[in-house]
Chains A and B, each alone.
Chain A
Amino acid sequence: MSEKLAKLIFWGGTLSSLALFLALTVDTHRQFHALTHADQLDQRVVAGKKVFEKYNCNDCHTILGFGGYYAPDLTRAYSRLGEDAIVRRLEHPEVAFADSYRKMPQQHLRPEEIADLVAFLKWVSAIENHDWPPQDSVARWKRSTQNLIASATLSPGAALVKQENCLSCHSLGELGEKKGPRLEWIGARRDAAYIADYLANPEKLAPGAAMPAYDHLSPEQRRLIGEFVVSLAASHRR
C-alpha cells in the first residue's frame, strides 16, 4: 500500500462518517420534538430533571438504560409504579425498602421536589423509544392481559377487580389509571396470599401506602383477587 492511498483511506473514512453523523444529527433534532412530546415539557418537568440531578439519582438508577445498574430502570417508572407508589418511595425509602437487600438513601426531599420528580418521570414515561425496556413494554402487557380481559366474565377474581373498581387507581394492559402500581407488576412480585393480606390492611404491610383497606371483602374474595393478579404476571404468560 502506498502512503498516498493510506492518507486517502484516513481522510475518506473520517470525513464520510463525520458527514453522515452530522447530517443525521440535524435530522434527529428535527424529530426530537415529536418523539419526546416536547410540547408537554413544561417548567415542572424541567424542575423535576434538576431534582433528579441534584440527588444524583442516575448513579444508582438507569434512565433510558443509561446510568448506574444498581437500581431499577426509571424510563417507565411512572407507568409501572404509578404516582402514589413513587411518592411513597421518595418520602420514606427507609420504610419502603426496609425488607429489601438493597437500600435507597433517605435524602429528605421537600414535598415540591417530589411533585417535580413525579412530573419529570411522567413526561419521560411517554418518550417514544421503540418500546424499550422490554420488561415494561406496554405492548407486551397488553398481549399478556388480552386473554384474561376476554375471559373476565368467567373469572370470579376478574369480576371482583371490576366490581371493586381497582382500575380507578391501578393500570392493567392499556386500561386503568396510574395512581397505584400496575397489576401485572404486582402479580410478578407477590404471591396470592400476600396480595390477599395486603387487601385486608395495606398499612400493615406497606406503611404509608395510599391504598384504602378492602376489609369489607371476605377472605375468600380477597384470595380470588390475589390469584387473579398473580395470573397476570408477564412471566406466567409466556
Chain B
Amino acid sequence: MTHKTQSIAYPYFVVSLLLFGLQVLVGLWLATNYFVTIPQSIVDAFPFSTARAFHTNLLVLWLLLGFMGATYYLVPEETNSEIYSPKLAIFQLVLLSATGVAALSGFVFGWTQGRPLLEIPRPLDLLVVIGALIFLFNVGMTIIRARRWTMTQGSLLAGLFFLAILYLFGIPFYRNLSVDWYYWWWVVHLWVEGAWELIAAAMTAYMLMKLTGVERSIVEKWLYVELGLFLFTGIAGTGHHYYWLGAPKYWLAVGGIFSALEPFPILLMVYDTWRDIKHRKEPMLPKLTWVYLVGGVVLHFLGAGLFGFAHTLPQINYYTHGSQVTVSHGHLAFYGAYVLLNLTFYYFAIPRIKGFPGFAYDEKTGHTAFWLTSLGVLGMSLAFAVAGVLQTYLERVQGQPYMLAAQPIRFWMFIAFVHGLVVVAGVFLIIKHLLTLKPAPQPAAA
C-alpha cells in the first residue's frame, strides 16, 4: 500500500464477505426445497421465490461491493494520488449496505419489483443509482485531479460506468413481456459478459503486474486485445438470450455464432496469465494468492467458457433453455469468473492494507478453505448438470409433465445439497481466514 486512502477498501471487503456468507446459507435452504417437501405453512410464510431473491441479490451486492472496494484500493496507486473524498466513500458503503438490508427485509414482506434478479423495488433503485453516482464521482474526481491516466484504470472505470448505465434499463415497467426480457438482458448479460469482464480483466491485469513484475506496457497491450475480443463476442452474443422470447429468427444465427466465439477471449486470458507467469521477475508468492488467481482463471474458462458453450447453440438450447442446465452453468461461471476474482483481490490487498512484512501472511487454513469451496462448487455444478440433462431428456425430449420429470431430479438435488454443505464450510473458513489474517510466522529466532 502506497497511499493512506487505499485502506477504504477494507470495510468494503468486510461487508461483502459477510453478505457472501449469508448468500451461501440461503443457497442451502434453496437446495433443500428441491428434495424435502416443505409444509404449506412454511411455504406461505417464506416461499422459494423469496429465498431465491435473497440468494441472487446477495450475490450481486457482495460482488459489486468487492469491485468497488478493489477500485478504491487500485485507483490511488494507478493515479499516484489519494482518493478525492474518503468520507464520501464510507458514506457510499453505508448507503448501499442500508439499501441492501432494506431490500432484503422488504422481500420478506412481499415488497418487490417481481422481476428475477431485479427484485429491488423502484424507490430503492433510486438509492442504488445515487450510490453508484457517488462512487463514479469520487473515483472520477480522483483521476481528474491526478491527471494520470492508465489503461488498467481506464478499463476498470469504463466497466463501472457501463455497469451503472445498463442498470437503468432494468428500472422501468415494460408493458410487453418480450420487450421486458429484451432489456432485462441488457442488465444481466451485458453486465456479466460486458461491463464485469472489463472490471475483471483490469483487476487481474493489475494484480499480475504487481505480483509478477512484468512491464505494464506488455500487460496492457494484451489487455486491449483481450477486451476487444470480450466485447466483440459478448455484445452481439447477447443474442443467445433472444432465441425464444418472441424476437426475430436472425437472433438464432447471430446469438449462435457470436456466443460460440465467447470461449476464445477467456482462453486468451488463460494464455496471458501463463505468459506473465513465465516471464515473471518475482517469485510466485504468497502461494495461496497464486492458487486463487490461477484457480480463478481456470474455473472462469471451465464455468463460463465451456459450460456456457455446452448449451449456447440454438439447436441444443431449444431443449436445455430454462432448465437446471442453466443452474449448473450459472453457479460454476459466477464462482470461477467473479467470486474467485474478488477473493484473489482480498488476499492480494489485505496484507498490503495491514502492512504485513513482505506482504506475506499465515496461509495455513486458507488452502483447505480454497479446496473445500472449489471442489464443493464443482461437485454441486456437476450434480446440477446431471439434474439438468435428466430434466432436458424427460421433460423436453420425451414430453413428460414437469413434476413427473422432476421426480428423479430430487436425488441429484440432494447430491447438490451435500456439496453445498462442503461449500458453506469452505466459505466460512475463507471468511474467518480473511477477517483474521495474520502475518506469516517468522522463522524461529531462538
Contacts and interface: CB of A to CB of B under 8 A. Distances in A.
Interface string A65-102: 11111111100000000000000000000100000111
A54 interface: yes
Q: How large, as a class, is the contact surface on chain A?
A: 35 or more
Interface stretch (B94-102, B245-253, B355-363, B368-376): B245-253
A103 B321 contact: no
B403 A13 contact: no
A127 B177 contact: yes
Interface string A175-218: 00000000001001100000000000000000000000000000
A65 to B, nearest CB: 3
Contacts of B184: 66
B227 A10 contact: yes
A44 to B, nearest CB: 12
Interface string A207-235: 00000000000000000000000000111
B436 interface: no
Given A64-B178, A67-B116, A130 B244 contact: yes
Contacts of B233: 17
A57 to B, nearest CB: 7
Nearest to A104: B43
Interface stretch (A25-33, A109-117, A146-154, A159-167): A25-33
Contact of A24 (B43, B181, B225, B251): B251
B254 A69 contact: no
A46 interface: yes
Contact of B114 (A52, A101, A104, A238): A52
Given A3-B221, A103-B38, A53 B114 contact: yes
Central interface residue in B52, B107, B177, by most chain A CB within 10 Å: B177
A27 B321 CA distance: 24
Contact of B44 (A31, A38, A106): A106
Contact of B399 (A13, A14, A235): A235
Contacts of B110: 54-56
B271 interface: no
A140 B399 CA distance: 10
Nearest to A9: B228
A128 interface: yes
B206 interface: no
Given A32-B176, A94-B40, A132-B321, A59 B33 contact: no
B235 A18 contact: yes
Contacts of B235: 14, 17-18, 21
B398 interface: yes
Interface string A7-19: 1011111101110
B253 to A, nearest CB: 11
Contact of A127 (B114, B178, B322): B178
B423 to A, nearest CB: 19
A58 B322 contact: no
Interface in B225-272: 225, 227-229, 231-236, 238-239, 242-252, 254, 258
A32 to B, nearest CB: 6
B248 A56 contact: no
A59 B48 contact: yes
Contacts of B398: 234-235, 238
A6 B322 CA distance: 38
Interface string B169-199: 0000101111101101000000000000000
Nearest to B403: A100
B113 interface: yes
B115 A49 contact: no
Given A70-B33, A105-B44, A127-B177, A3 B217 contact: yes
A63 interface: yes
A118 B46 CA distance: 25
A96 to B, nearest CB: 11
A1 B37 contact: no
A228 to B, nearest CB: 17
A62 B245 CA distance: 12
Interface in B100-148: 107, 110, 112-116, 119
A60 interface: yes
Nearest to B46: A105
A35 interface: yes
A33 B189 CA distance: 24
A54 B175 CA distance: 14
Contacts of A155: none
Given A21-B236, A59-B48, A68-B48, A188 B246 contact: no
A69 B326 contact: yes
Given A17-B232, A233-B399, A69 B327 contact: yes
A41 interface: yes
Interface of B: 33-34, 37-40, 43-44, 47-50, 52-53, 107, 110, 112-116, 119, 173, 175-179, 181-182, 184, 217, 221-222, 224-225, 227-229, 231-236, 238-239, 242-252, 254, 258, 318-319, 321-324, 326-327, 395-404, 406, 410
Given A56-B114, A103-B40, 7 more contacts: A6-B222, A14-B235, A16-B232, A18-B235, A128-B246, A134-B318, A140-B399
**7 nearest A-B residue pairs (beta carbon):** A53-B114, A65-B322, A234-B399, A13-B232, A59-B49, A132-B244, A13-B228
23 contacts: A1-B225, A3-B221, A6-B222, A6-B228, A21-B239, A32-B176, A35-B178, A35-B246, A38-B176, A53-B114, A53-B115, A59-B52, A59-B53, A64-B244, A68-B49, A68-B52, A69-B327, A100-B403, A104-B43, A128-B246, A129-B178, A129-B244, A134-B318
